[in-house]
Structure 1
Amino acid sequence: MLDKNTSKFTLWVLAWPIFIELFLQFLLGAVDTLMVSRISDDAVAVVGFSNQLFQAMTTLFMTVASGAGILIAQKIGSSKSGDARTIAIMALSVTTLIGIVCSVILFAVPEQIAAVLQLPENLLPLAGTYISIVGGGMVLIAMMATMSTVIRNTGNTRAPMYVAIGMNIIHVIMNYGFIFGAFGFPQWGLTGVAISTVVSRLLAVLLLLYIFLRSFEYRVKWREFRVFDRPLFGEVLKIGWPLGVNMSCWVFSQLIIYTFIATLGAAELAARTYMNTLESFCFLLGSSIAMAAQIQIAHLFGAGRTKEAYRSAYRALGFGTIYVVVNGFILFVFGKQLLGMFTNDQTIIAIGASLLGMNLILQPGKMLNMALGNSLNAVGDTRFTMYISLGSMWLVATVLSYVLGVHMGWGLIGIYSCMIADEYLRGALSYFRWRNQKYLRKAEQQAEPMNHHTTPIEPIPAQV
C-alpha cells in the first residue's frame, strides 16, 4: 500500500492535472489567435512574433525556477522538506527581481527590440503596443512560472490547474469584450487583448501566491523572503544553469528561426503562428506526461528508488508516443479545416497545410527527446542535455534552417526538415545516455555504505 505522500507522485496522478493546465494554456493561446485573427492576419503575426520574444526572456528566470523545481522534488523524496521550503522561497524572490528587470526593458523600448529582430517595418507600430503592455507584465510571468513549478513539484499538480481554469475564463471574456466591444468594454483591438492578458495573469499570480504560501508543512512568512541560503542556492544553480542554457538554446534558436521566416514574408509568418497553435495541441498530452515523469523520477531518485526511476522514463515514453502519434494523425486529416477557422487567406492555409505531414513525423521525435531529456534532468544530468542542445539546436535546427530554408529557397519545408532532424538527434543521444544509467549507478554506489543489500541495476529493455 502506497502512503499518501508517495501516491501523490504516481505518473497518472501527476500527469492529468498538468495536461488540463497545459490544455487550458493552449486554449488561451488558441483563443487569442482565433480572436486576434478577427482583427487582422498582421495582428496574428505580431502576437506570434511577440510570444517568441517573451519566451526568450523567460529563460532568464526559468534557469532558477526549473532547477529549484527538480531539487524540491528530490528533497521531498529524501524527506528534507525544510530544505525544499527554503529553496522555494529563494526561487520566488530571485525570479521576481529578474522579472522586474525584464518588464522595464520591454516596456521602455518595444519597437526598437522588434526592429532589431527583423520584424517587417509595417508591423512595428502594432508590435510596439503589444510588447510594451504584455512585456511590461513580464514580472507576472516570472512569478506565475516559478510558483506553478514549485507547487507542482511538491506533488500538488491540481492547484495550478484550477488557477489556469480561472485565468482562461477571465481572459476569454475580456478578450471578447475588448475585440468586439461587448459587455460595455471599449473596442480596443490588439491593445485590449494585451490588457486582457496582463489582467488575467495578475489575478492568477494572486491566487498562486495564496497557494504557494501554504504549500509546505509550515506556512511561509513574508519576512522569510529575506532569507538566502547560499549552499542550497548553489545546489539550485548547479542543476539550473545548464537547464537555463538548454532553454535559451531552444528559445533563441526558435526566435532566430522566426526571423528567418519573417524574411520569407508576412504570410509565412502568420502560417507558422497558426501551425504552432495546432502543433501545441497535438503535443499537449505528450508534454504533460514528460513533465509528470520528470517530477516522479526526481522524487524517486531523491528517495533512492533508482530502479523505479529508470523504468518510469520508458513508461512515460511509451504512453506519450502513442498519444502524440494519434493526435498527429488527427491533425493531418483535419488540419486544413482547422486552419480555415483562423484565416480565410488561401495562401496562408496552403502554406500551413503543406506542413501537416511533416508534423506527423515531428511529433514522435519531440516525445522521444522530451521524455528522456526530462528524465536526465530529473536525476541532475543537466549538463549532458545542455551539451547536446548547444550542438544540435544551433548547427542543425538554426544554421541548417537558414541554409535550406532561406539560402536554398526551400522555405518553410526546409526549415521544418531541420526542426525534425534536431528533435530526433537529441532524442537518440538522450536515449543512449539514459541507457547508460550514469547518475543512477552513482546514486546507488553512494547509498551502498548505508545499505549493504543494494544490488546493481540490471539493464532493462526499453519497452513498455
Structure 2
Amino acid sequence: MSYATRNMSLWVLAWPIFLEMLLQFALGAADTLMVSRISDDAVAVVGIANQLFNAVNILFMSIANGAGILIAQKLGAGRLDEARTTGMISLKVCTAIGFAVSVLLVAGAGPITRMLQMPEELWPLGETYIATVGGGMTFLAIMSALSAVVRNTGNTRSPMMVGVGINVLHVLMNYVVIYGALGVPQLGLQGVAWSTTISRIIGALLLLYMFRHAFSVRYELRDLRLFDRGLFRETVKLSWPLGVHMSCWCFTQLVLFAMVASLGAAELSARTYMNTLESFCFTIGSAIATAGQIRIAHLYGAGQWKLAYKDSYRVLWIGLAFVQANALLLYGFGGPVLGLFTSDSNIVSIGVSLLALNLLLQPSKMLNMALNSALTGVGDTRSIMWVGIPSMWAVSVGLSFALGFGAGWGLAGIYTAMIVDECVRGFLLLLRWRFHRKRLTGEQPPQPDLQPRTAAYTI
C-alpha cells in the first residue's frame, strides 16, 4: 500500500506503535532475566554499558526523527521527490555517524570501560561486551534511520513487525548461547553481545527492503547519489534541538536515579519496580502521542492547518483517558503486583505510598508528550528544547533535591518534583502551541514556505 492510499487515522497509526513498545518492554525484561542467569556481574556490565549505548542512540534518533518530521510534511504537501531525497539523506548521514561510532567503540573499548567506572574485576567482561555490541552500532543507526522514514510515511506496522521479530530472535539466540541449546557451546555474555549484534544486522536488512518500497517510486542503487543541501539544512534544523532535549532528559534521569540511590537500597529498589509498573501507563500514552505527531505533520504539510491544530487536542484527550484509566488500575492493584516482584515488605510499602502520586504523574506526562508531539509535528523543535532544559534541571533536579533532602520528604519529594516538572513543561508548551493558533486556524496568513505545492491526499 502506498502512502497516498494509506489510512492515516490516529488509531491505525497508534496501535502498531503501542504493540511494538509493549512487546519490546516485555522482551527486554525477559532478556535481563536471562542475562542474570549468567551472573550478577554480567547484569551489571550490561546495565552500565547500555547507559552508554542509549546515549549514543540519542544521536541517531535525533537525526532520524528530524528527517521523519520533514518527510511527513513533504508528503503532506505532495512533494514526493523531496521526501524521497530526505529519506536517503537521513540514511547516509546516520550510517556515516554510526560507522564512526562503531570504530571508536571497538578501538577504545578498554579506555571506555574504565571511563564508565566499572569495577576492575569487570573490565574483561566490559571490554568484550562494549567492543562486540559497539561494533554493531552502525546497524542500530541504520535501523533508526529506516524506521523513522517508513513510519513517517504512515506505515507504522512494518517497523512494528521488524522490531518485535528481531527482539524475539534476540531472546531465542540468548537462550541458545546462555544455556548451550542445539549443541551450541555456552558462550556467556560474549554470546549475548553477538546475539544483539546479529539481530540488529537482520533488522537493518529487513527494514532496508521496506525502505526501498516506502514510496510510490521505489529506491534504486542510483538513488544513493541523492543529496540536497537545502533539505539537509532543514533536517539539521529540526534534529539538533531534539538531540539536545533528549540528551538533557537522559542526563537528568541519571542524576535523579543517583539521588534515589543515595536515599538507600530499599528506595532504589522501590523506584526501579515502580518505573517498571509505570511503563504500562507511559507506553500507551507515548504511542498515541507518536501517532499524533505523524498525523499532525502530514496535515501540516498538506496545508490542513486548522485540522492539525484541532488534532493536537484530540490526541491529548484520548491519551489522557487511556493513561488515567491505567493509572487508576495501577493504584487499585499496584500493591499485590509489587508483591510479585519482591517479598521485602519495606520495599512494597514504599512503592504503595507512591501509587497515589502516580495518579498525578501520568496525566502530567501525557500533557507534556501530547504538546511535545504537536510542536514537533509542525517543526517547532526549538521551543521544546528551550522549555525543557531549564525545567528539567531547575525543577526536576533542583526541586527534587530541595524536597527530597532539604525538606526530608525522601522519595515522595522526588516524585513531587517530577510531577511539577511535567506540569510546568506541559503548561509552557501549551502556551507555545496556542501561540501557533492564529497561523494554523487561518486567522493569520501562513508563511509562504508552508504552502503545499499540490494537494497530496485526503486524510
**TM value normalised by structure 2:** 0.86
Change (3 A) 1:342 1:95: farther
Q: Distance in 2 between matches of 1:7 and 1:62?
A: 25
Give 3-state SS (helix, strand or coil) of 1:206's partner: helix
Q: Give the corresponding residue for 1:325.
A: 324
Give 3-state SS (helix, strand or coil) of 1:446's partner: coil
Q: Distance in 1 between matches of 2:146 and 2:287?
A: 17
Change (3 A) 1:89 1:102: same
Q: Give the corresponding residue for 1:157.
A: 156
Q: Distance in 2 between matches of 1:149 and 1:290?
A: 15
Q: Distance in 1 between matches of 2:28 and 2:361?
A: 21
Q: Give the number of aligned pairs.
A: 449
User: Structure 1 residue 364: deviation in Å?
Assistant: 0.8
User: Structure 1 residue 72: deviation in Å?
Assistant: 0.4
| Contact preservation (8 Å) 1:118, 1:262 | no
Change (3 A) 1:83 1:33: same
| Contact preservation (8 Å) 1:404, 1:410 | yes
Q: Give the corresponding residue for 1:445.
A: 445
User: Structure 1 residue 80: deviation in Å?
Assistant: 0.2
The one-letter code matched in structure 2 to 1:208 is L
Give 3-state SS (helix, strand or coil) of 2:445's partner: helix
User: Structure 1 residue 380: deviation in Å?
Assistant: 1.3
Q: Which stretch of the first structure deviates more once superposed, 40-49 or 210-219?
A: 40-49
Q: Give the corresponding residue for 2:236.
A: 237
Change (3 A) 1:405 1:349: same
Q: How many percent identity over aligned positions?
A: 55
Change (3 A) 1:274 1:96: farther
Change (3 A) 1:173 1:450: closer
Give 3-state SS (helix, strand or coil) of 1:445's partner: coil
Change (3 A) 1:424 1:111: farther
The one-letter code matched in structure 1 to 2:35 is V
Q: Give the corresponding residue for 1:280.
A: 279
Q: Give the corresponding residue for 2:369.
A: 370
Change (3 A) 1:387 1:174: same
User: Structure 1 residue 300: deviation in Å?
Assistant: 0.4
Change (3 A) 1:202 1:333: farther
Give 3-state SS (helix, strand or coil) of 2:388's partner: helix
| Contact preservation (8 Å) 2:3, 2:216 | no
Q: Distance in 2 between matches of 1:14 and 1:364?
A: 21
| Contact preservation (8 Å) 1:106, 1:132 | yes
Note the aligned Cα RMSD (angstroms).
Answer: 3.2
Q: Give the corresponding residue for 1:200.
A: 199
Q: Which stretch of the first structure deviates more once superposed, 422-431 or 88-97?
A: 422-431
1:178 aligned to 2:165?
no
1:8 aligned to 2:23?
no
- What are the residue-to-residue correspondences of 1:100-249 with 2, within 5 Å? 100-110=99-109, 112-113=111-112, 116=115, 127-249=126-248
Residues 168-189 of structure 1 show CA distances to partners (whole Å, capped at 9, x for unaligned) of 2212212223333334343344
| Contact preservation (8 Å) 2:6, 2:154 | no
Residues 344-385 of structure 1 show CA distances to partners (whole Å, capped at 9, x for unaligned) of 666665655554443332211111100111101111111111
Q: Give the corresponding residue for 2:85.
A: 86
Q: Which stretch of the first structure deviates more once superposed, 176-185 or 403-412?
A: 403-412
- List alignment gaps of at least 5 residues for structure 1: 452-464
Give 3-state SS (helix, strand or coil) of 2:303's partner: coil
| Contact preservation (8 Å) 1:335, 1:356 | yes
The one-letter code matched in structure 2 to 1:281 is F
Residues 192-241 of structure 1 show CA distances to partners (whole Å, capped at 9, x for unaligned) of 33332222222111100111112112221234223321011111112222
Q: Distance in 1 between matches of 2:148 and 2:138?
A: 15
User: Structure 1 residue 6: deviation in Å?
Assistant: 6.2
Q: Distance in 2 between matches of 1:223 and 1:348?
A: 59
The one-letter code matched in structure 1 to 2:197 is V
Residues 43-91 of structure 1 show CA distances to partners (whole Å, capped at 9, x for unaligned) of 5455444333322212222222111101100000000011000000000
- What are the residue-to-residue correspondences of 1:36-75 with 2, within 5 Å? 36-39=35-38, 43-75=42-74
User: Structure 1 residue 430: deviation in Å?
Assistant: 1.3
Q: Distance in 2 between matches of 1:350 and 1:182?
A: 41
| Contact preservation (8 Å) 1:37, 1:342 | no
Q: Distance in 2 between matches of 1:365 and 1:130?
A: 38
| Contact preservation (8 Å) 1:52, 1:251 | no
**TM value normalised by structure 1:** 0.85
The one-letter code matched in structure 2 to 1:292 is A
User: Structure 1 residue 274: deviation in Å?
Assistant: 4.1
Q: Distance in 2 between matches of 1:159 and 1:443?
A: 39
Residues 307-335 of structure 1 show CA distances to partners (whole Å, capped at 9, x for unaligned) of 11111111111111111122223333444
Residues 285-318 of structure 1 show CA distances to partners (whole Å, capped at 9, x for unaligned) of 1111100000000000111111111111111111
Q: Which stretch of the first structure deviates more once superposed, 282-291 or 392-401?
A: 392-401
